[in-house]
Chains A and B, each alone.
Chain A
Amino acid sequence: MLTFMTKQDFHKPTTVEDAVTLLKEAGEDARPISGGATLVALMNARLVQPSRLVSLSAIEELTQCTHQPDGSVRIGAMRRHRQTAFESDLKAAHQVVSGAASQIANPPVRNMGTIGGSISFADPAADYPPSLVAANAEIEIAGPEGRRCIPAEDFFLGWYETALEPGEIVTAVILPPVPASSIGQYEKLCRIAGDFALASIAMTIDFDASNTVSTLRLAVGGCGGGPVRVEAAEDALIGTKLETDAIAAAAELLVAELDPVDDVRGSAEYRLKVVPRLLQRAFNNLINIREPAQ
């Protein structure tokens, strides 16, 4: 028979408020659990031994993805990667997020993992963080003090660290309205299919009538403690027609801010070398995508 040595309890509330209360009661060792893809793996490895588990899977609100009248999209924290990858509401620049979702791990794991769980763990090589920064997403958080929203850029603080305070959970990711002409793209380099990124590039971009870049947000994953966005690099490309020199100049500004480390996936040196090349290719692909349409 099974025996257990640590006192643990498991709860499955049906409202966000109840979940927050349950987490608050139990203090720091309480953990919310969404899909389980990350937390259970950590528990299996005995790296985490929670005193209380609060399942979010029965909270209806978290499982919805809604297209708001203003054009924004609210993705509930419990949306599975597979749902987000195939989300028909994600169009134009929002596809940077569905593109990222479609490249996480593999089909069965995409069935389990959730957007809220993934970003709360904040693996710097995960796919959502750069894509949400590029999408200028807001993260909706619920805690003992109520709800708040913060920009994705301010949510990811560094190596597995987020702006979540003790007792807080992510409830949704909100993607702002985007023009129909905008494009979202997520490019990932990994050792084998389904691995975490060696490096990834997420971008949302739009062009004016003269084919000049009018807006651009660019974020790099896997090259530091969190997604890296460099406004100066974006500025170097806004107003250009993505000439090779302009991309090279932007890449130089971007690379200067990357802070990768050597790990089993690759060396820091390689990442610094490959990001400008991936960037160049990403823009080349973009030009290829747009040209046939014109």
Chain B
Amino acid sequence: MDGLEFNGVGSSPHRLEIMEKVTGAAEYIADLSRPNMLHAAITQSTVAHAKILGYDLSDALSVPGVVCILTGEDFPDGRMGAFIKDEHAIAKDKIRYFGEPVAVVAAETEGIAREAAKRVIVKYEELPAILSPEEGLAEGAAIIHEELDDYIKVFPAISSGNMASYTELNEGDLEAGFAQADLIVEGTYETAPQAHLAIEPCGALADIDKQGRVTLWSANQSVFRVQANVCESLKMPMGKLRCLTPRVGGGFGNKMEPHIQPLVVQMCQATKRPVKMILNREEDFECVRARHPFKVRCKTGVKKDGTIVAREVEVLLDCGAFGDDSPGVLGYSLLMCLGPYRIPNSKAHGKLVYTNKLRFGAFRGFGNPQVAFAGETQLDQIAEKLGMDPLDLRQKNLIQPGDPWFGGGKVASNGLQECVDKARAASDWDNRKSRTAPKGKRRGTGVALAAHISGLLGTGAIIRVFEDGSVALNTGAVDIGQGSDTVLSQMCAEALKIPLEKVSLASPDTDGSPYNWGTTASRVTYTTGRAVVGAAAEVEKQLKEHAAQMLECSEMDLELRPGGIVGVSGSDKEVSFHQISLRAHWAAGGPIVGHHTWVFNQPTVDPKRAVCSGIPFPQVGVFSFGCLIVDTLTDEASGKTEVVEAWSAVDVGRAINPSSVEGQIVGGFVQGMGFALTEEMVWDGPKLANPTLLDYKVPTTLDTPYNIHSIIVEAAEPDGPFGAKGAGEIGLVPVPAAIANAIADAIGGHVHSLPMKPEKVLNKMLEIEDAT
């Protein structure tokens, strides 16, 4: 059949929800309301580390219109956390970062709630604030989590004192590897905290029924993680909470784990009224989560001919006040720190340290962009010393089809070579030195390679055939704007050979949807797509069972025909899904429902190859690859750099919806460009100094090149749905590194810390001038 005609796989139909988004009708959490609804606001702590001695609520309660105020004393002692269950729903007994919610106020209007929240008085006994991992590890440092040893951990965590976790991976013989090297380069590289800055701030709305069962809508990336986190922290039975989602205004990792959902649910239970809370932009900056700042020490040994023989990477991560996704970020960054290269002798190890700062957590790339910045910068430094072309050096060491990943995990599909070849050709890399710069500017071209996974954990899909022969698809995957609703529907349409409009997509609902860990880890297309294909196969089987009886033939002789028809091969005998479904509903067999669930089960580590400890993900994912080349101009007067053009070749296995894949590549590029050049959360002592869009700057149209070329490479993943693997993060991963290498090409030296703001680049230029 012609998949394109039916808007199936490989075509780019418009988003299912496009009409509501261009007319302003799409409803996000802030747009929802319920009759008799209360509005809630939080009081935030004004200290970073303290014991809570008590509360004075009298002034706040005196504000007319205030209905209820809850503090830590009103919350159960449940703890939540993706890897380490170390976090209460609200500060309880202790404050662990500046801006942490300490009280929730519900009132008849948001204005009243906010006014009263300002009047809540908390009495503190201050403790020394730990504001960096180094301070946290220092002897005699104040302990942030006294009960760390007793916390539940979902992986074999190595933790003590303020160290939340330690992870290590070893392959080959590191010492012997470095002994073979003709050249060893070592450097340290640092990255700054980045804010996700989904344009929609976090929010939640809860309502309670007469049986005391709560329904919760929220801005989220997984209704199932919301349910688990709320129930763990509030010690609620999971059956008492139903989680739903409106449209979500961007996530990027920020909305995967909880934000204020537990607070809203607790307030709803306390007042027995609907409660809504929407964070303002400052609160969203100060008390949700951000990308980890990394310190990376990277040491690489090479032979004269450019063959890499050894690498050691050591990372130090600021965890912030709570574990959240941090152990995963630590482990994943170490797993990815060699890049897509054959390096026989390697060691990667790192520490994650609690500090009295906002929690750091998942953010598109999940630690990979940070280690890629270190590793890919260092490769360029090696190429310079060896007098090699940076791309030739990489080419010499590329991981080859059939090679396993660091740790021994299987890499089934590998389109890296095609990515390199296509980006090299499209960017005219070999003639890059002939490009000229306008007066007062220096031109640079840089390259970086990347790999990323898609996978992880449990997923499912249910397809039901309606009486009229069309189908309902229910996966529980939250579309956060990237377009998964459309892509999953396309796969369902393709698998059943029906037009896209015959697929209706159910909104995620913890009551009725199959489990879906979440929209994260570039996983929905790959993992949920597989579930959709599996469920469609089950539906096809049931359809054929009916058809065989209706057409009096063997199931083996039946085929799906385009348009919702089952026919006998080599004959014009056929029945429609409609006819089959009527029979199934009213006469025989029962309504047709196909389902498929699975959990990603391919091991991360092969114990025969690697010695590892503290690994947070025993089964991580399949691999996507990318090659990015950027062209930049750096201003000689100020050091300010602009990206002029970019060529991003990405191996996505199969582009189910090519236009959406382009959206991911270009969108990821620009978010990575912000991380590389301008974005930086700055703390002034314990307090975040720039929690506003006036002070925290993301790229605008004028800071973004128009010419960002998406080059889609399709090396089919054998077990991927239609060969697809993830596309959500890979495009961002190499961006800071490629821009860093372009700047170095322009000015003759490498900046070792992000963001590469004008000041750092100018200082490097002046340092080079002084040296010559």
- Chains A and B directly touch (beta carbon < 8 Å): yes
Interface residues of A in 178-197 (CB under 8 A from B): 189, 191-196
Of the listed residues A264, A278, A280, the one surrounded by the most CB atoms of chain B closer than 10 A to its CB is A264
- The answer to whether B700 and A270 touch across the interface, beta carbons within 8 angstroms, is no
On chain B, the residues within 8 Å of A270 by CB distance are 758-759, 762-763
Give the contact stretch, choosing among B304-312, B443-451, B483-491, B690-698.
B690-698
Interface residues of A in 248-294 (CB under 8 A from B): 264-267, 270, 273-274, 277-278, 280-281, 284
With both beta carbons as reference points, the residue of chain B lying nearest to A199 in the complex is identified as: B638
Whether a CB of chain A sits under 8 angstroms from the CB of B37 is no
- Kindly provide the distance from the CB of A24 to the nearest chain B CB, expressed in whole angstroms: 29
On chain A, the residues within 8 Å of B678 by CB distance are 191-192
Contact A280/B700 with A5-B111, A270-B759 known, Cβ cut-off 8 Å: no
- The answer to whether A3 and B109 touch across the interface, beta carbons within 8 angstroms, is yes
On chain A, the residues within 8 Å of B63 by CB distance are 5
Contact A189/B690 with A3-B111, A284-B440 known, Cβ cut-off 8 Å: no
Contact of A189 among B109, B638, B766 (CB under 8 A): B638
Contact of A191 among B111, B689, B757, B766 (CB under 8 A): B757
On chain A, the residues within 8 Å of B763 by CB distance are 270
Contact A3/B65 with A264-B690, A274-B758, A278-B637 known, Cβ cut-off 8 Å: yes
With both beta carbons as reference points, the residue of chain A lying nearest to B440 in the complex is identified as: A281
Contact A280/B758 with A3-B65, A264-B690, A264-B695 known, Cβ cut-off 8 Å: no
Interface CB pairs A-B, < 8 A, 6 = A2-B111, A5-B115, A192-B698, A193-B703, A277-B637, A277-B638
- The answer to whether A192 and B700 touch across the interface, beta carbons within 8 angstroms, is yes
Contact of B108 among A3, A196, A278 (CB under 8 A): A3
Closest CB pairs A-B (n = 6): A193-B702, A270-B759, A277-B637, A264-B690, A281-B637, A192-B697
The interface bits of chain A over 1-27 (1 if a CB of B lies within 8 angstroms of the residue's CB, else 0) are 111110000000000000000000000
Interface residues of B in 119-165 (CB under 8 A from A): none
Whether a CB of chain B sits under 8 angstroms from the CB of A106 is yes
- The answer to whether A198 and B762 touch across the interface, beta carbons within 8 angstroms, is no
Whether a CB of chain A sits under 8 angstroms from the CB of B112 is yes
Whether a CB of chain A sits under 8 angstroms from the CB of B344 is no
- The answer to whether B759 and A267 touch across the interface, beta carbons within 8 angstroms, is yes
- Kindly provide the distance from the CB of A16 to the nearest chain B CB, expressed in whole angstroms: 31
Whether a CB of chain A sits under 8 angstroms from the CB of B682 is yes
- Kindly provide the distance from the CB of A289 to the nearest chain B CB, expressed in whole angstroms: 13
- The answer to whether A266 and B112 touch across the interface, beta carbons within 8 angstroms, is no
Contact of A264 among B64, B109, B689, B701 (CB under 8 A): B689
- The answer to whether B440 and A2 touch across the interface, beta carbons within 8 angstroms, is no
Whether a CB of chain A sits under 8 angstroms from the CB of B748 is no
Q: Measuring CB to CB, which residues of chain A are less than 8 angstroms from any residue of chain B?
A: 1-5, 41, 45-46, 106, 189, 191-196, 198, 264-267, 270, 273-274, 277-278, 280-281, 284
On chain B, the residues within 8 Å of A5 by CB distance are 63-64, 111-112, 115
On chain A, the residues within 8 Å of B759 by CB distance are 266-267, 270, 274
Given contacts A192-B678, A266-B758, A281-B440, 5 further A-B contacts (CB under 8 A): A3-B108, A4-B111, A191-B758, A273-B766, A277-B637
- Kindly provide the distance from the CB of A121 to the nearest chain B CB, expressed in whole angstroms: 13
Interface residues of B in 632-679 (CB under 8 A from A): 636-640, 678
- Kindly provide the distance from the CB of B607 to the nearest chain A CB, expressed in whole angstroms: 48
Main secondary structure of the interface of B (DSSP, over half): loop
Contact of B700 among A1, A193, A278, A284 (CB under 8 A): A193
- Kindly provide the distance from the CB of A7 to the nearest chain B CB, expressed in whole angstroms: 14
On chain A, the residues within 8 Å of B701 by CB distance are 193
CA A191 to CA B118, docked complex, whole Å = 33
- Kindly provide the distance from the CB of B739 to the nearest chain A CB, expressed in whole angstroms: 15
- Kindly provide the distance from the CB of B75 to the nearest chain A CB, expressed in whole angstroms: 27
On chain B, the residues within 8 Å of A45 by CB distance are 282
CA A273 to CA B770, docked complex, whole Å = 15
Q: Measuring CB to CB, which residues of chain B are less than 8 angstroms from any residue of chain A?
A: 63-65, 108-109, 111-112, 114-115, 118, 282, 440, 636-640, 678, 682, 689-690, 694-703, 757-759, 762-763, 766
On chain A, the residues within 8 Å of B690 by CB distance are 264
- The answer to whether A278 and B638 touch across the interface, beta carbons within 8 angstroms, is yes
- The answer to whether B637 and A195 touch across the interface, beta carbons within 8 angstroms, is no
On chain A, the residues within 8 Å of B636 by CB distance are 277
On chain B, the residues within 8 Å of A267 by CB distance are 759
CA A57 to CA B382, docked complex, whole Å = 63
On chain B, the residues within 8 Å of A1 by CB distance are 109
Contact A273/B758 with A189-B638, A264-B682, A284-B440 known, Cβ cut-off 8 Å: no
With both beta carbons as reference points, the residue of chain B lying nearest to A195 in the complex is identified as: B697
- The answer to whether B112 and A106 touch across the interface, beta carbons within 8 angstroms, is no
- Kindly provide the distance from the CB of A36 to the nearest chain B CB, expressed in whole angstroms: 15
With both beta carbons as reference points, the residue of chain A lying nearest to B108 in the complex is identified as: A3
On chain A, the residues within 8 Å of B64 by CB distance are 5
On chain A, the residues within 8 Å of B638 by CB distance are 189, 274, 277-278
Of the listed residues A2, A5, A267, A278, the one surrounded by the most CB atoms of chain B closer than 10 A to its CB is A5
- The answer to whether A274 and B697 touch across the interface, beta carbons within 8 angstroms, is no
On chain A, the residues within 8 Å of B440 by CB distance are 281, 284
With both beta carbons as reference points, the residue of chain B lying nearest to A284 in the complex is identified as: B440
- The answer to whether A3 and B112 touch across the interface, beta carbons within 8 angstroms, is yes
CA A196 to CA B115, docked complex, whole Å = 30
CA A191 to CA B759, docked complex, whole Å = 10
- The answer to whether B697 and A266 touch across the interface, beta carbons within 8 angstroms, is no
- The answer to whether A266 and B757 touch across the interface, beta carbons within 8 angstroms, is yes
- Kindly provide the distance from the CB of B195 to the nearest chain A CB, expressed in whole angstroms: 13
On chain B, the residues within 8 Å of A193 by CB distance are 700-703
- The answer to whether B108 and A106 touch across the interface, beta carbons within 8 angstroms, is no
- The answer to whether A106 and B640 touch across the interface, beta carbons within 8 angstroms, is no
With both beta carbons as reference points, the residue of chain B lying nearest to A285 in the complex is identified as: B440
- The answer to whether A192 and B111 touch across the interface, beta carbons within 8 angstroms, is no
On chain A, the residues within 8 Å of B111 by CB distance are 2-5
- Kindly provide the distance from the CB of B554 to the nearest chain A CB, expressed in whole angstroms: 66
CA A189 to CA B690, docked complex, whole Å = 19
On chain A, the residues within 8 Å of B114 by CB distance are 46
With both beta carbons as reference points, the residue of chain B lying nearest to A193 in the complex is identified as: B702
Contact of B699 among A4, A41, A192 (CB under 8 A): A192
With both beta carbons as reference points, the residue of chain A lying nearest to B696 in the complex is identified as: A264
Contact A2/B109 with A195-B697, A266-B758 known, Cβ cut-off 8 Å: yes
- The answer to whether A194 and B700 touch across the interface, beta carbons within 8 angstroms, is yes
Contact A191/B697 with A277-B637, A278-B638, A284-B440 known, Cβ cut-off 8 Å: yes
On chain B, the residues within 8 Å of A46 by CB distance are 114, 118
CA A2 to CA B108, docked complex, whole Å = 10
- Kindly provide the distance from the CB of B586 to the nearest chain A CB, expressed in whole angstroms: 52
On chain B, the residues within 8 Å of A284 by CB distance are 440
On chain B, the residues within 8 Å of A280 by CB distance are 637
With both beta carbons as reference points, the residue of chain A lying nearest to B681 in the complex is identified as: A264
- Kindly provide the distance from the CB of A85 to the nearest chain B CB, expressed in whole angstroms: 15
- Kindly provide the distance from the CB of B169 to the nearest chain A CB, expressed in whole angstroms: 37
CA A66 to CA B189, docked complex, whole Å = 57
Contact of B637 among A4, A194, A274 (CB under 8 A): A274
- Kindly provide the distance from the CB of B700 to the nearest chain A CB, expressed in whole angstroms: 5
CA A278 to CA B698, docked complex, whole Å = 24
On chain B, the residues within 8 Å of A194 by CB distance are 700, 702
With both beta carbons as reference points, the residue of chain A lying nearest to B692 in the complex is identified as: A45
- Kindly provide the distance from the CB of A41 to the nearest chain B CB, expressed in whole angstroms: 8
CA A280 to CA B699, docked complex, whole Å = 28
CA A293 to CA B152, docked complex, whole Å = 76
CA A4 to CA B64, docked complex, whole Å = 11
With both beta carbons as reference points, the residue of chain A lying nearest to B702 in the complex is identified as: A193
CA A264 to CA B682, docked complex, whole Å = 7
CA A293 to CA B514, docked complex, whole Å = 73
CA A111 to CA B716, docked complex, whole Å = 51
CA A41 to CA B282, docked complex, whole Å = 13
- Kindly provide the distance from the CB of A53 to the nearest chain B CB, expressed in whole angstroms: 17
Contact of A192 among B65, B639, B682, B703 (CB under 8 A): B703
On chain A, the residues within 8 Å of B703 by CB distance are 192-193
With both beta carbons as reference points, the residue of chain A lying nearest to B766 in the complex is identified as: A273
With both beta carbons as reference points, the residue of chain A lying nearest to B282 in the complex is identified as: A45
Contact of B758 among A3, A189, A264, A281 (CB under 8 A): A189
CA A290 to CA B391, docked complex, whole Å = 44
